Structure 1
Amino acid sequence: MNFASDNIVGASAPVLQAIMQANAGAMAAYGNDEISSRVRTRFNEIFEREISVFFVTTGTAANALALSAAVPPYGLCVCHREAHIIDDECGAPEFFMHGAKLAGLPGVGAKLTAMDVAAYLRSLPKAVKQMPPKALSVSQVSECGLVYGLDELSSLGAVCREHGLSFHMDGARFVNALVSLGCTPAEMTWKQGVDILSFGATKNGGLMAEAIVVFRKDLAEALDYRSKRAGQIISKGRLIGAQFEGYFADNHWIANARHANRMAGRLSDGLSQLPGVRLAWPTQANEVFPIIPKSLDQALKAAGIHYHSWTELSLPEAEGVADHEVLIRLVTSWATREEDVNQLLEVASSGVARQAAE
């Protein structure tokens, strides 16, 4: 059983079928095909306005290129200190921003508050010795599995407008947050002030399909050229577009995310009822972060269950991990089976019971 991430499973059947259908015959190259054109129109419909969409193959490429459009080489991008862009992308955003820096701020659950961001921006000296802030980036879902509410996004958007920052959203798990909030894509993005979005599909059933969604025309102007220089304008672009066509058809993307979130909720509910187990943060999407006894950690691993230990950096102030405990992350996906969740819970329950009897 593998709960290490939601990118460990393959692509879903509708996505693969769409690729196979697109594979036949000849079509224009470099994303100038009719499939990609249809998908761009579909993105417009989903976000309820005309937008610019750039297809890329990885989330790292989406984030790095999106931020390169928003931040000049002398600028600063504010993010959480545990954000994926600062911790997990090997400096790619800074590389593509040509020397601009990422400034990581603290926040419970890997989330930023408008108050903290505003205070940090006000603290920066207004002199050429200091790189000026040019963008704010938030992860939706956060690295601790939390979802920004619409009011939180609106407040952050207002801070960005007040201070002249572009507002970027890393949406690797965009749709998991979307179904958690029960809102529309427009309500979770540009209506709250988001200017540019890294839209992820790979973690939710795609094979290799990410997109940069741009709501401000000035940020889109150079992205064709930046994408080409980054090797992200794919010659057989129709096979990227086809993935999104299969992904969106019959609300397949929504159904996948609902399933992943439901499996996480089931897992979270079961674990939190076990003696000696508690959740570091609420389960709001498809990630579960329990603090468990080390003995249970050993029992889970002995049963062949795969997952990652997690950092304590963004725990609530009153929370901590004792010497006999460990904080772990369990991730569910569109392909997670209910029987796998049940089996993990059975192993966990047996492990807790065995420890109590010793």
Structure 2
Amino acid sequence: MNFSSDNWAGASAPVAAALSAVNQGLQPAYGTDDASRKVDDWFAEIFEQPVGVFMVATGTAANCLSLAACSKPGGVVLCHEVAHIANDEAGAPSFFSGGGTLHPIAGPNGKITPDGLEAALARYHPPAVHHGRPVALSLTQATEWGTVYTVDEVAALSAIAHRAGLKVHMDGARFANAIVGRNVAPADMTWRAGVDVLSFGATKNGCWSAEAIVTFDRTLDEDLAYARKRAGQLFSKSRFAAAQFLGYFDLGHWLDNAVHANGMAARLAAGIQEVPGARLVLSPEANEVFAVWPRAASARLKAAGAGFYAWSSDGLPDAVRPGPDEEVVRLVTSFATTKHDIAAFVTALEDAMASERRG
């Protein structure tokens, strides 16, 4: 019954097997091993063209090194106000870019709109050294509210950004969940829609510790290579990072994991909707479910062994905002979530809500 985060799930069996298989003999270090070269080929196949691939250990490193590669002195990155880089990276985007800043943009359901982006860019026109200069737009896919940009939405925002001379970065911590949620090709969601660099997340979807910076604008590659080394993110025994991706991609395992996680989120959301007194904030589009119920019910659920997090209601429309005695909660499913987990949680929620009604 633990829906705290997909980070809590372990490595999937194919990924674990690939790690064990690569632990044989000697291999060159620092990305020159056979497994790393195979991973480059896998990414080229997935994105339907050659791409730059820079494996790193964490999503923080992937996001912040990507943005640093886009930065300039006085650089400003535009992002959504609830974006992970704006709220959960402990200042790392500024640190890695040598003092760059973020410009948060409000938007419904975790998404930046074209009007919102245009208004934010207008803040920097005409250019003035005092204000800094926009260098990149960062889009989160799936968003912090579990919504997923459509290909057309990404393309529209990318076009605005490119006209203003910005690079476009995509934080794809849950990229697999996003593309299966929209049933689109990875290339369509990224470079064909104008994305220049992608933080390709795999840890949340079945890997142990494997993320990658994927460049579509190859002019970023040289600086990224040095930035990754300087940041301590160049693996010496790189075959072990690469092996995770080999197990992850083989036979479409990464997509199967995401389909399962998304399906479990839909099942969980349907169960919550059936419980009197509980309601959804949004219909899930990936593997995150946001709901509202009494705080006392949350306490009863946690006492029964359930895991989830209370969530901020900032930016929610009045129609779905929690009442004085309620709270918003986030529940995340993963490749390891089972139907039994869902059923046990829904039963526990029914019991908690019945106790609430009895007073």
Q: CA deviation at 1:357?
A: 3.6
d(CA) in 1 for partners of 2:81 and 2:222? 30
Instruction: Report the equivalent of 2:283.
Output: 282
Q: Which residue of 1 aligns with 2:267?
A: 266
Q: Deviations over 1:22-76 (max 9, x none)?
A: 1100011001011100110110010001110100010000001000001113110
The sequence identity of aligned pairs, in percent, is 47
Secondary structure in structure 2 of the residue aligned to 1:213: strand
CA distance in 1, matches of 2:79, 2:264: 29
Structure 1 residues 38-77: aligned runs within 5 Å: 38-77=38-77
Query: Partners of 2:178 and 2:74 in 1: how far apart?
Result: 33
Instruction: Provide Cα deviations, 1:62-94, integer angstroms capped at 9, x if missing partner.
Output: 001000001113110000111111111111111
Partner of 2:296 in structure 1?
295
Match in the other structure for 2:184: 183
> 1:354 deviation in Å?
3.0
Shift, 1:317, TM fit: 4.6
Q: Tell me if 1:153 matches 2:154.
A: yes
Task: Name the structure 2 match of 1:224.
Answer: 225
**1:306 equivalenced with 2:307 (yes/no):** yes
Q: CA deviation at 1:121?
A: 0.4
1:340 corresponds to which letter in structure 2? D
Residue 78 of structure 2 aligns to a residue whose secondary structure is strand
Provide, for residues 306-346 of structure 1, a one-character-per-residue CA deviation record: whole Å limited to 9, x for no partner: 11100111212543211111100000000011101100000
Q: Which residue of 2 aligns with 1:240?
A: 241
- Greater shift in the superposed pair: 303-312 or 107-116: 107-116
Deviations 1:88-119 (A, max 9, x none): 11111110100010111111222111111012
Aligned residues: 358
| Number of the residue aligned with 2:3 | 3
Q: Matches of 2:299 and 2:320 in 1, distance apart?
A: 22
Match of 1:7, SS state, is helix
Shift in Å at residue 353 of structure 1?
A: 2.5
- Residue 305 of structure 1 and its aligned partner are, at CA, apart by 0.6
Deviates more, 1:189-198 or 1:109-118: 109-118
Q: Residues of 2 paired with 1:298 and 1:60: CA distance?
A: 31
Q: Which runs of 5 or more structure 1 residues have no equivalent in the other structure?
A: none
One-letter identity of the residue aligned with 2:121: L
Secondary structure of the 2:6 match is: coil
RMSD: 1.1
Aligned to 1:37: 37
Question: Aligned ranges for residues 93-172 of structure 1 at < 5 Å?
Answer: 93-125=93-125, 126-172=127-173
Question: When the two structures are superposed, what TM-score results if normalisation uses the length of structure 1?
Answer: 0.98
Q: Secondary structure in 1 aligned to 2:132?
A: coil
CA distance in 2, matches of 1:255, 1:26: 32
Structure 1: distance between partners of 2:6 and 2:315: 22
Q: Deviations over 1:164-184 (max 9, x none)?
A: 110000000000001000000
Match of 1:335 in 2: 336
CA shift, 1:123, in A, is 2.7
Q: Which runs of 5+ in 2 are unaligned?
A: none
Question: How far apart, in 1, do the equivalents of 2:232 and 2:355 lie?
Answer: 54
Deviates more, 1:52-61 or 1:318-327: 318-327
> Retained in 2: the 8 A contact 1:109–1:316?
no
**Distance of 2:51 and 2:194 partners within structure 1:** 14
The match for 2:23 is 23
> In the aligned structure 2, how far is the partner of 1:275 from the partner of 1:202?
35
Counterpart of 1:14, as a letter, is P
| Aligned-residue offset at 1:217 | 1.3
Q: CA deviation at 1:294?
A: 2.1
